[in-house]
Structure 1
């Protein structure tokens, strides 16, 4: 009998548990450790923040689903991984031993690295459904008393798509309410150029997103380093390409949503040879840690080096399609180990993304996600908005059933309009 444990029940952890079911043997036990019993669909958070979705519409209670699947669910959360001893200390003091561990915790949000940043400070976030609900209450106040808006992502951020999405979703809702003319908007990003996305761009994301910003009368600041945030005021340093200070901005705002930098969670941060200095899990080509070969990692918690040097630190995103490839490879590799074979499966790390802008959107395909690429394609259109709405419904329905399948791959390559599928698959 083997004890297989997954820490985390977000996208990567939940999918990991589902896919492991097909790999474990009858005598093995599969355990998921989560912070609470609920899963929520993070890509819908920008919609929650403007009232287009309610929290309960994007949340799923995992208790019954996991029970039906024969998966032990522990909702106390993990306090510390003791990798040398092959055990996990839970927040209530309980101990869970493991033979194989998959770390799928996602990140810790590093709001504290900038004074005044975050929901406990003076800016909003859409990284968690709790934050999105808080952002909705702040948006209601903005609607009652319109004023300047500052949206973006700070230095060290590695997930830029939601910043662009929320900017344009917010802009769309303001237009619908006939308030847009009373709300000046500025996009502030650590990216070296608009549309970099932590990926050095994909296709013509630079041109597409710059055009969208101009069309929607949104000013922008790139190579931006946020130094502090006060009530109604953000201090920003704009750097040159060689890292010198070009200009200091003092940006007034009535509402601001800024994505933070990520770091590894406290349960793993600082474990020598398991994590890098930011607390992300070091893995090899099989998603396996080289020094603790019974430990794997998938999702946002995985250490991926930046694409290249930039004046302001910029991380690399881990998209849903990419995460699915990590999950599938890891499940197959643990299945091999359980049967006395060496891991052989490798993730593809391709990226397919649908970025919703409220009434249109941008889609891009990067094969592989890290350049140079075999396919480097992007496109803009109303179809992207409707595809993302359809995918949300598809994904949540499948998740409630506990379906062990690669949701992003099946939907994006099999369920979209045939012409668009061809574009996504071939880049033509």
Structure 2
């Protein structure tokens, strides 16, 4: 019998549990440990932040779902990991021994790296459901006395799609409330150009997103570094190609949402050979750690080098479709090891993304996600908004049922079932 432990129950951890259950032998035991007993569908957070969704509508109680699948569940935060002893320590003083560990914790949000930044400071976040709820409360107060808005992503960020999504969703809601004319908007990003999204662009994301910003009268600043945030004022440095400060701006704001940089969670940071200096887990092409082969990792916690040098650091996003491919490869590889065989599966790391802009949107397909690519496609239109709504409903329904099919692939094919794109995804 093998003890398999999954750390984390976000997107990667939950679908990892479902797929691992299908690959295990009958005598093996699977345990999921996480700090939060409730799963929240993170892609819905921008909608929560403007009141288009409630927390309850995008959450799933994991305990009964896991119980139906015969998966042990411990909603207790992890305090430490000892890969030499093959043990996970929990904050209640207990511990879990493992034969195989899958780390799927997601990131820690590095708000503290910028003075005055984040929900505990003067800016909002949509990275967690609690942040999105706070952003919604603060947005309602903002609407009583409108003023300038700043949105975007700071230096070291690796999740740019939600920054664009929230910007345009916010703009749509301001128009619906008929106060858009009283709200100057500025998009501030560490990207070297609009539409870079940490991937050096996909298709014509540069042209599509610049066009959307121009059409919506939203100014933008690229290659920008946030120095500090005060009440009502953000100090931003424009960085030149050689790394020097080209210009410093003091931007006023009455409301701001900025995506932070990510780092690995505290219990993992500093474990030599397991994580990089930023705390992200080092894995090979089979999602397996080279020093500790009993440890695998999937999702945002995985170390991926940036696309290349940029004036301001830009991380590489780990999109849902990409994470799903990591999960499938990992589950199959552990299944191979359990049966005395060698790991042989690799994630495809493809990307299919729907970015909702409130009443329209942008979709792109990158195969593989990291260039050079076999498929490099993007498009925009009102159909993307409708597809994102359908995707959310489909995904949550499947998750609540505890089904282990490839969620993102099946949802993409169902929601984007137009001939050309369907052929691209299935090719």
Query: Which residue in the other structure is 2:202 paired with?
Result: 202
Change beyond 3 A, Cα 1:91–1:365: same
1:318 corresponds to 2:324: no
SS at match of 1:353: strand
Partner of 2:155: 155
How far apart are 1:170 and its partner, in Å? Answer: 0.1
- Alpha-carbon distance, 1:245 to partner: 1.2
The 8 Å contact of residues 286 and 347 in structure 2, kept in 1 or not, is answered as: yes
Please name the residue that 2:169 is paired with. 169
- Retained in 2: the 8 A contact 1:78–1:91? yes
Deviation per residue, 1:138-172 (Å, 9 max, x gap): 10011111000000000000000000000000000
Counterpart of 1:390 in structure 2 is: 390
Instruction: Tell whether the 8 Å contact from 2:416 to 2:422 is kept in structure 1 after alignment.
Output: no
Residue 280 (1) aligns with residue 280 (2): yes
Match runs of 1:6-405 below 5 Å = 6-405=6-405
Q: Distance in 1 between matches of 2:423 and 2:231?
A: 46
Q: Does structure 2 conserve the Cα–Cα contact (< 8 Å) formed by 1:3 and 1:29?
A: yes
Offset at residue 242 of structure 1 (A): 2.1
Residue 391 of structure 2 contacts residue 415 of structure 2 at CA under 8 Å; is this kept in 1? no
Q: Residues 350 and 366 of structure 1 are in contact (CA less than 8 Å); yes or no, is this contact kept in structure 2?
A: yes
Rounded to whole Å, the distance in 2 between the matches of 1:419 and 1:355 is 20
SS for the counterpart of 1:354 is strand
After superposition, the C-alpha distances for 1:334-389 in whole angstroms (9 at most, x for unaligned) are 00010000100000011110000000000011111111111111101111110000
Using the TM superposition, give the Cα deviation of residue 420 of structure 1 relative to its aligned residue in structure 2, in angstroms: 4.9
Aligned length: 427
Q: Matched residues in 1 for 2:79 and 2:340: separation? A: 31
Contact in 2 for aligned 1:375/1:426 (Cα 8 Å): no
Distance 1:361 1:415 in 2: 14
Is the 1:243–1:311 contact (alpha carbons within 8 Å) kept by the matching residues of 2?
A: yes
| RMSD after superposition | 1.0
Q: CA deviation at 1:68?
A: 0.9
Unpaired stretches in structure 2, ≥5 consecutive residues: none
Per-residue deviation, 1:419: 2.5
Q: Distance in 1 between matches of 2:85 and 2:100?
A: 12
Distance 1:226 1:22 in 2: 46
Mapped to 1, the partners of 2:415 and 2:119 lie a distance apart of 37
Runs of 4+ in 1 over 6 A off after TM superposition: none
TM-score scaled by length of structure 2 = 0.99
Q: Give the conservation status (yes or no) of the 8 Å contact 1:299–1:326.
A: yes
The CA distance in 1 between the partners of 2:99 and 2:423, in whole Å, is: 43
